Structure 1
Amino acid sequence: MIKNYFKIAWRNLIKNRVYSFINISGLSLGLACAMLIILYVKDEVSYDRFHEDGEHIYRIVSQNYNESGVPEGKNSSTGFLQGPRFTEDIPEIKEYVRIQSGREDVKIGGEVVSRDLHYVDPNFFSMFTFPVISGNPKTCLSEPFSVVISEELALRQFGTTNAVGKTMMFRNNGEFVPYTVTAVSQKSPQNSSIKFDMLLPLEIPKEDLANNFNWFNFFLNTFVSLKPGANVDVVNDKMQDLYLAQSSDAAKIIKEQYGDDGLPPKYFLQPFTDMHLNKELPAQNGLTDASNPTFSYILSGIALFILLIACINFVNLTVARSVRRSQEIGIRKVVGGKRRQLVFQFLGESFMLCFFAFAMAILLVQLALPIFNGLANKQLSISFVLDAKLALGYITLFVITGLLAGFYPALILSRYSPVDTLYSRFILSGKNYLQKSLVVLQFTLASLLIICTFVIYEQFNFLTTQELGYDDTDLVLLQKNRLTPDELDTFKGRLASYGNILDVAGKNGGGWSTIAKVEGDKQVQFAYETVNQSYIPILGIQLKAGRNFSDEHPSDATQSVLVNEAFVKEAGWSDAVGQTVDFWYNGEKYTVIGVVKDYHYDSLGQTIRPQLFTMKPTNELGMLYIKIAPRSATSAIADIEKVFKEMFPFDPYSYHFLEDQNYQSYEAEAKWKQIMLFSAILTIFISCIGLFGLSVLSAEKRTREIGIRKVLGASINNVVAILSKDFIKLVLVALLISIPVAWTIANKWLENYPYRIQLGWQVFAIASILVILIALSTISFQSIRAAVANPSDSLKTQ
């Protein structure tokens, strides 16, 4: 019996090749999407779970409060003291490891390159499970001037992983000194928040460890390992009590000096495995791959939509072809076949088709993984499927899909009356509410994705074309740490002899922020920028009032500042020029000589904050802004490199264009634009397969009606309109449902951006027209085919 079921199922698949291909391809696309998302989610939740003692590892974090006791945000960083002080006095803590990110210049032959690294405590490898392939993990970081490198770096640097005992030249206090490679570790796992190529010992002077003011420095990550059975809540309370006891005197002095009215932060422990998907306390400050759990939810939802639509298509297409199998079902029932047997037969066919779809889906996943990895910023591999839990998940997915796709058709097909089917009196009667509902659901989801895709496209285009308030074209950026004003003037003078170099400006590296007083005791927090007089004109930033820094006023470097409009608004000034900015904590006062128009010095994902510019000579510069002539990039870059290497032979040289950097700041939006586009295309494609199946069903049900209408004079256009209008009604219902839902979702998403598009009717109108046109083009194929059929053949249909 079972053999017969498979034989009949195979014959039906071969006999109806087109429908079999459509069914299998639709299901395989849905399954492939689901598999990719399962791979993605599995990778997300597996982060940092490979460490042997991972369940006992925590990160020391804190909650900040304002003067009213209202929480103001959480801080994942600590200073030098928290780890050793808490470990020394709290018996539940077994050990601590501090990780500080850094970047150092390394000399390789005659070339100097700048490389990221981490400074860590000597017991790093005892807390974290990173296999060491050569060297002693217990002692490799115990001596100064030692370095641990990854096997990848060992191969690049020395051509072998047997690098223990070799030396690397690091810049130390302005000179290059040798560091000895004491161990080589395996490559950090892909699902690790701690990724490194080089580890150096974290060295802290004893006087810093004894200074209680260092309770208030926050710049590194501190991890602790608790003893088995330790109560985390008890440890949290002990940490807070110890912090308050040891920092109180220093806190009073800081409050008197800086006027800080906030309440003390509250320390607590964050589970190590919680960092990757935590939005408030993410993996940052030297840790990598921080993610947003919303991405997993959205991708899972999209995969569920596509898989659901694929299952709906299977149902619709199977029922649509059931007319052709009515006599087979009648014969089976006449010779004694029971409904239960027919149900098993059709479920078996469903599982056979699912098996082929599953096999094709695995092939599609393999082909799509490189593209998907690029979109999701992952390094997933099909080998992950070999994971036992993941394989079990795929088997469960296969069984559920087979049941979902085959159960309803099995019930419908198995209840046909044998008398009606054998005497060709069987028709698919009824109003088919379920099938119509499924079509509405399909196109609701498809329309929703299309509208959301349009919104994401519009917002991305807005972010990348919006006026920034300055000119970022033809601007080359170079990093040069510890650049003095005199060095900047010399560099600028040497480049001035090249006709393709228009101007050179300097600015501090990174983002500085501080506070100052205005109008007496009113405090303003602002972005603190150190520049030279060329910075404002080279970026084309407009002056709203006053003047720019000038060589004609030597006192500008020590007595004058510029501020932006946001600073003026925060300070409450009606006329800013001539006002005083008081840095009371170091005794410096400056006079405002000009106001620049607000410009987006951060991405458009951030509001414009108060900003102050100074030329203070003791502040180090770290970035060079070089304006080059249009269409001269190749020659200008060569000239810049030549002068830079001549002046700074022991500094790493690398450059990028400010315009490219600005575009890359919207990389997340660009990836979501692509993800949503692919999702919308897949959803529409699979939905159209289902609509095609229903149009076939409708044409077969109304074959005689079409013949009669044509005999009575109906035109092809009339027939096509009759066959299409019911489906267009369903699509319109889907649009009526999807538009308000899409409007709500889009508005919620746009709230994340302080600068955003305004949702207009055009977006919804264009998306609706597109959905209707796609639906019409799908239906029209079968409708026209039925309309042009010979009416005499149609009337012979029973």
Structure 2
Amino acid sequence: MFKRYLVIAFRNLQRQRLFTFINIAGLAVSMTVCLVVLLSVRESFSYDNFHPLASRIWRITTHAQTPDGRKYHVASVPMPMGTALKSNYAAVENEATVYGALSGEGKINDKKINIRGAFATPSFFDVFGFKLAAGNPRMALTTPNSIVLSAETAKRFFGTNDPMGKVIQMDRFGSFIVSGVLQPNPSRSHLDFEAFAAMSSVPALEQSKVLPDQLNNWDIVKSSYTYVVLRKGESVSALTSALTDLGHRYDGFTQKGWGTMAFEAQAFSKISPSWDLFDDIGNTPSWGKVLTEMGVAFGLILCACFNYTNLSIVRALQRAKEVGVRKVNGAHRWQIFMQFITESVLMCLLSLVMAVLLLLTMQASHFSGLPVPDINLLTPAILGWFLLFSVIIGLIAGAIPAWALSAFQPAKVLKNMIDIKLFGGIGLRKTLIVIQFSLSITAIIFLVTVYRQFHYKSVKDMGFARRDILNVPLEGVDYQRMKERMLQLKEVESATASSGTLGMPRHSSFCNLRTGDSKNTIEFGYYAGDMDFLNVMHLKLLAGTTFPAAASREKEQYLVVNEKALSIMGVKSPADAIGKTLFLSDSLPLSIVGVVKDFNYQPIEVNIRPMAIRFIPGEFHQLQLTMNNGDKTAQLADVKKIWLELHPGETFNAEWMDEQLLSRDGREVVSMLGFLVFITTMIAALGLLGIVAYTSFTRKKEISIRKVLGATAPGLLILLSKNYVRLILIAGCIALPLGYIGSTFFLQIFAYRVSIGILPMLGSFFLLLMLALITILSQTWRAIDVNPADNLRND
């Protein structure tokens, strides 16, 4: 019997090729998005699931409030936290501290590779259970200046050679001996550093001022992460009590006007997906991303199922006589029901095949509009879940039309199928049409706002030069030497050395400075730059000068600050700031030699804050060349030739500054949203198409009678279309406020943003209204463009 159902189903699908294609394509596209989301969500929950003690590990986080009332939940804690917990509280069995300050250039012979590393205590392997492919886990992080490399980093440095005992020269941090190589992790970990060095290396680095005095300092909360293992049988309440006790050391902060600070335990399993903590580590997805993805997938598949139902009902009117004949020949209702459910499930299975093919195509072509997870996640188990998922979708989508069709009375459908009414009315489907179009209009308004904001971001004058500037990495060569060589090129107008690119996130560093008459420190963002930095970047000096030519390369002496720093310091005018002294790390005096006009040294998501330009040659990572307006390819070739003379055998990687900044203009976000909005809108249009086709079919007799009585084509078009236009207008009234609210929430991310504007909102609405009118008129015109005699002949 089931075989017969399949044969009939295939014949019907083949006979109705257009209907089959529309339904399968609509479901397939929606299911593709759902598959991407399912893979992405699985990937989001795959972090840190291989640690043997994961159920007993807790990370300590910090709740801080500034004197002006700003609240921060920070992933880092003071560095002495781990030792204090293990030494003084019996509930804590073990602890591990990770200090994410070991980042820079690693060098072996002539090979130089950037390493993103951290310092870790010897208990690191006991707490987390990471395995070593080489080395002794009990000794690997014990000796000062020992380092453990990830398998990938070891391969980048040494290839197939044995790395054990080899020496790596780390920029600023000195020499480290390789004491171990990590095995590749079974799954992702938020502790995704490329190297871990012994924590016992930190005291010497602090003494030489390479690192700030943080090891025993309870007042600095930066880049230090503490994890504790609770003893078996101990509850988190014991740890909470210990953290409350340790938090009492900050009770006097409020009276001194320093804000407040307290500590909280975070379950290891709750680190990913993350809650967007400040100063967090690991590229873990956020809960906002996961929930948004799930919401989008659910909405799309719900719309697709509804449209499948609508179109199936429309097609059912053409198969009503088939049902009547089969019932007259003795078919039971459950058999008719099973036939249509089989067709529905078969169509969903075909949609699943197409969806998987689309997913593979997107992965193979590196489709940039949608973030496609690693296709290797398509394991047999996952494919099994997808198969079950498609069967469930088929059952849900096909149940209503199958139930309706199987209920047809043979006498009625064989006599006159025009009089068939399904479900006693179409109020529910009209409501769903309103919901679908409300979501579509809201999504279009949101997309327009996102596009306008990212376009504004790409063209906004951030207060510094960005065109015709080539960023060339120094890669260990003295900046002055390379600068002199590059300035010999006729295409190079000027050059400066810097620590990073203005406007790029995470290119700015931070330091704490205090004035001589205050104990409170001010957090400054800073870039390192040489004497020509202000000139090349076109930063406007309000007072003073740039760094003097005689500035020491060994000992820092001078600062250039922005206007915002003056307001925080309480200085009235730029001229008054010249010559004032700020203290770095409470001991190093730095004199202000210049004040520049405020500019967006960070992306426009962030307000302008106090910042400084410092002369620290040890932090120069790149040369920024102002090029003449000419052939960029030829200019790049000339720069590359000199660079390779200074770096024989190495790979040249230079980047134009404007292109580097444009890489963050949100094009991928806009493409992804545009793709999803297109699918949502097309699904809504298909749903409207189904309901218009259904009602036009059931009103054929009425239309014929009206034409016989003299009704004109325009009058009939208005008669048949006005109710649907009313639905779209209702959807617009619902969607415009929702779109405004959603756009407002999105724009709150940016400190500098566009206004929403009534014209973009109305334009979005009229765009969808035109699409709806085209859909409506395509069906209503077909309904009235008939000969009345053909419809009334048999009545």
Alignment TM-score > 0.5, same fold: yes
Task: Assess if the C-alpha contact under 8 Å between 1:602 and 1:608 holds in 2.
Answer: yes
1:538 paired with 2:532, answer no
The equivalent residue for 2:235 is 231
Residue 268 of structure 1 aligns to a residue whose secondary structure is: strand
Task: Assess if the C-alpha contact under 8 Å between 2:470 and 2:625 holds in 1.
Answer: yes
Counterpart among 459, 462, 469 of residue 453 in structure 2? 459
Task: Return the alpha-carbon distance in structure 2 between the equivalents of residues 725 and 764 of structure 1.
Answer: 23
Task: Assess if the C-alpha contact under 8 Å between 2:96 and 2:226 holds in 1.
Answer: yes
Q: Which amino acid aligns with 2:414?
A: L
1:95 paired with 2:94, answer yes
| Residue 158 of structure 1: how far off its partner (Å) | 4.6
Task: Assess if the C-alpha contact under 8 Å between 1:167 and 1:178 holds in 2.
Answer: no
The equivalent residue for 2:16 is 16
Q: Which amino acid aligns with 1:303?
A: A
Distance change in 2, residues 1:524/1:120 (3 Å) = closer
Spell out, residue by residue over 1:352-410, the C-alpha distance to the aligned partner (whole angstroms, 9 max, x if none): 333333333333333334578856666432644534xx567546633542343123223
Task: Return the alpha-carbon distance in structure 1 between the equivalents of residues 765 and 266 of structure 2.
Answer: 47
The equivalent residue for 1:504 is 495
624-633 or 518-527, which deviates more:
518-527
Task: Assess if the C-alpha contact under 8 Å between 1:366 and 1:382 holds in 2.
Answer: no
Task: Assess if the C-alpha contact under 8 Å between 1:506 and 1:532 holds in 2.
Answer: yes
For this pair of structures, how many residues does the alignment match?
772
1:116 paired with 2:110, answer no
Task: Return the alpha-carbon distance in structure 1 between the equivalents of residues 488 and 701 of structure 2.
Answer: 88
Distance change in 2, residues 1:241/1:177 (3 Å) = closer
TM superposition score normalised by structure 1 = 0.84
Spell out, residue by residue over 1:496-546, the C-alpha distance to the aligned partner (whole angstroms, 9 max, x if none): 332222122344564233343499899755434554442222112234x43
Residue 216 of structure 1 aligns to a residue whose secondary structure is: coil
| Residue 572 of structure 1: how far off its partner (Å) | 5.2
The equivalent residue for 1:42 is 42
The equivalent residue for 2:582 is 583
The equivalent residue for 2:304 is 310
Task: Return the alpha-carbon distance in structure 1 between the equivalents of residues 120 and 591 of structure 2.
Answer: 41
1:629 paired with 2:623, answer no
The equivalent residue for 2:358 is 364
The equivalent residue for 1:596 is 596
| Residue 453 of structure 1: how far off its partner (Å) | 1.2
Task: Assess if the C-alpha contact under 8 Å between 1:275 and 1:282 holds in 2.
Answer: no
Q: Which amino acid aligns with 1:88?
A: S
Q: Which amino acid aligns with 1:268?
A: E
| Residue 603 of structure 1: how far off its partner (Å) | 0.2
1:216 paired with 2:208, answer no
The equivalent residue for 1:747 is 744
Task: Assess if the C-alpha contact under 8 Å between 1:305 and 1:445 holds in 2.
Answer: no
1:407 paired with 2:403, answer no
Q: Which amino acid aligns with 1:42?
A: R
Task: Assess if the C-alpha contact under 8 Å between 1:114 and 1:652 holds in 2.
Answer: no
What are structure 2's unaligned runs of at least 5 residues? 208-212, 501-507
Counterpart among 431, 434, 442 of residue 428 in structure 2? 434
Q: Which amino acid aligns with 1:500?
A: E
The equivalent residue for 1:567 is 565
Task: Assess if the C-alpha contact under 8 Å between 2:79 and 2:215 holds in 1.
Answer: no
Task: Assess if the C-alpha contact under 8 Å between 1:136 and 1:183 holds in 2.
Answer: no
770-779 or 647-656, which deviates more:
647-656
Spell out, residue by residue over 1:737-796, the C-alpha distance to the aligned partner (whole angstroms, 9 max, x if none): 212111111112211211111111221222122212222333344444444444543443
Task: Return the alpha-carbon distance in structure 2 between the equivalents of residues 191 and 99 of structure 1.
Answer: 18
Task: Return the alpha-carbon distance in structure 2 between the equivalents of residues 358 and 688 of structure 1.
Answer: 22
Q: Which amino acid aligns with 2:599?
A: Y
Residue 203 of structure 1 aligns to a residue whose secondary structure is: helix
| Residue 457 of structure 1: how far off its partner (Å) | 0.8
Distance change in 2, residues 1:288/1:549 (3 Å) = same
| Residue 3 of structure 1: how far off its partner (Å) | 5.2
Task: Return the alpha-carbon distance in structure 2 between the equivalents of residues 651 and 346 of structure 1.
Answer: 66
Task: Return the alpha-carbon distance in structure 1 between the equivalents of residues 96 and 371 of structure 2.
Answer: 29
579-588 or 205-214, which deviates more:
205-214
751-760 or 352-361, which deviates more:
352-361
| Residue 679 of structure 1: how far off its partner (Å) | 0.5
Task: Return the alpha-carbon distance in structure 2 between the equivalents of residues 71 and 570 of structure 1.
Answer: 16
Distance change in 2, residues 1:511/1:665 (3 Å) = farther
Task: Assess if the C-alpha contact under 8 Å between 1:33 and 1:303 holds in 2.
Answer: yes
Distance change in 2, residues 1:90/1:538 (3 Å) = same
Task: Assess if the C-alpha contact under 8 Å between 1:63 and 1:71 holds in 2.
Answer: no
Task: Return the alpha-carbon distance in structure 2 between the equivalents of residues 271 and 642 of structure 1.
Answer: 53
Task: Assess if the C-alpha contact under 8 Å between 1:529 and 1:614 holds in 2.
Answer: yes
Task: Return the alpha-carbon distance in structure 1 between the equivalents of residues 226 and 668 of structure 2.
Answer: 33
Task: Assess if the C-alpha contact under 8 Å between 2:48 and 2:187 holds in 1.
Answer: no
Task: Return the alpha-carbon distance in structure 2 between the equivalents of residues 200 and 610 of structure 1.
Answer: 33
The equivalent residue for 2:505 is none
1:421 paired with 2:379, answer no
Task: Return the alpha-carbon distance in structure 2 between the equivalents of residues 745 and 173 of structure 1.
Answer: 46
1:83 paired with 2:86, answer no
| Residue 680 of structure 1: how far off its partner (Å) | 0.9
Equivalent residue runs for 1:611-760 within 5 Å: 611-613=611-613, 621=620, 623-631=622-630, 633-634=632-633, 636-637=635-636, 640=639, 655-666=654-665, 669-708=666-705, 719-760=716-757
| Residue 678 of structure 1: how far off its partner (Å) | 0.7
Task: Return the alpha-carbon distance in structure 2 between the equivalents of residues 724 and 713 of structure 1.
Answer: 19
Task: Assess if the C-alpha contact under 8 Å between 1:113 and 1:651 holds in 2.
Answer: no
| Residue 421 of structure 1: how far off its partner (Å) | 1.7
Task: Assess if the C-alpha contact under 8 Å between 1:533 and 1:548 holds in 2.
Answer: no
Task: Assess if the C-alpha contact under 8 Å between 1:605 and 1:753 holds in 2.
Answer: yes
Equivalent residue runs for 1:257-272 within 5 Å: 261-262=257-258, 265-272=261-268
Spell out, residue by residue over 1:440-491, the C-alpha distance to the aligned partner (whole angstroms, 9 max, x if none): 22222222222211111111111111111121112233455999xxx65555
Task: Return the alpha-carbon distance in structure 2 between the equivalents of residues 770 and 242 of structure 1.
Answer: 60
1:470 paired with 2:464, answer yes
Residue 732 of structure 1 aligns to a residue whose secondary structure is: helix
Task: Return the alpha-carbon distance in structure 2 between the equivalents of residues 523 and 104 of structure 1.
Answer: 27
Residue 768 of structure 1 aligns to a residue whose secondary structure is: helix
Task: Return the alpha-carbon distance in structure 1 between the equivalents of residues 548 and 163 of structure 2.
Answer: 54
Residue 190 of structure 2 aligns to a residue whose secondary structure is: coil
Q: Which amino acid aligns with 1:696?
A: A
Task: Return the alpha-carbon distance in structure 2 between the equivalents of residues 354 and 29 of structure 1.
Answer: 11
1:278 paired with 2:274, answer yes
Counterpart among 768, 772, 780 of residue 771 in structure 1? 768
Task: Return the alpha-carbon distance in structure 2 between the equivalents of residues 6 and 620 of structure 1.
Answer: 70
Task: Return the alpha-carbon distance in structure 1 between the equivalents of residues 194 and 148 of structure 2.
Answer: 8
The equivalent residue for 2:27 is 27
Task: Return the alpha-carbon distance in structure 1 between the equivalents of residues 564 and 475 of structure 2.
Answer: 29
What are structure 1's unaligned runs of at least 5 residues? none
Distance change in 2, residues 1:553/1:12 (3 Å) = closer
Q: Which amino acid aligns with 1:670?
A: R
Spell out, residue by residue over 1:590-642, the C-alpha distance to the aligned partner (whole angstroms, 9 max, x if none): 46x65432211100000011334465x79865554332222354455555566
Residue 46 of structure 1 aligns to a residue whose secondary structure is: coil
The equivalent residue for 1:128 is 128
Task: Return the alpha-carbon distance in structure 2 between the equivalents of residues 195 and 552 of structure 1.
Answer: 42
Task: Return the alpha-carbon distance in structure 2 between the equivalents of residues 752 and 318 of structure 1.
Answer: 44
TM superposition score normalised by structure 2 = 0.85
The equivalent residue for 1:495 is 486
The equivalent residue for 2:210 is none
Task: Return the alpha-carbon distance in structure 2 between the equivalents of residues 635 and 108 of structure 1.
Answer: 33
| Residue 566 of structure 1: how far off its partner (Å) | 2.5
1:397 paired with 2:423, answer no
Residue 358 of structure 1 aligns to a residue whose secondary structure is: helix
Task: Assess if the C-alpha contact under 8 Å between 1:481 and 1:621 holds in 2.
Answer: no
Task: Return the alpha-carbon distance in structure 1 between the equivalents of residues 472 and 312 of structure 2.
Answer: 64
Spell out, residue by residue over 1:268-287, the C-alpha distance to the aligned partner (whole angstroms, 9 max, x if none): 33222222333353683xx3
Task: Return the alpha-carbon distance in structure 2 between the equivalents of residues 563 and 289 of structure 1.
Answer: 32
446-455 or 202-211, which deviates more:
202-211
Task: Assess if the C-alpha contact under 8 Å between 1:60 and 1:78 holds in 2.
Answer: yes
Distance change in 2, residues 1:376/1:698 (3 Å) = closer
Residue 83 of structure 1 aligns to a residue whose secondary structure is: helix
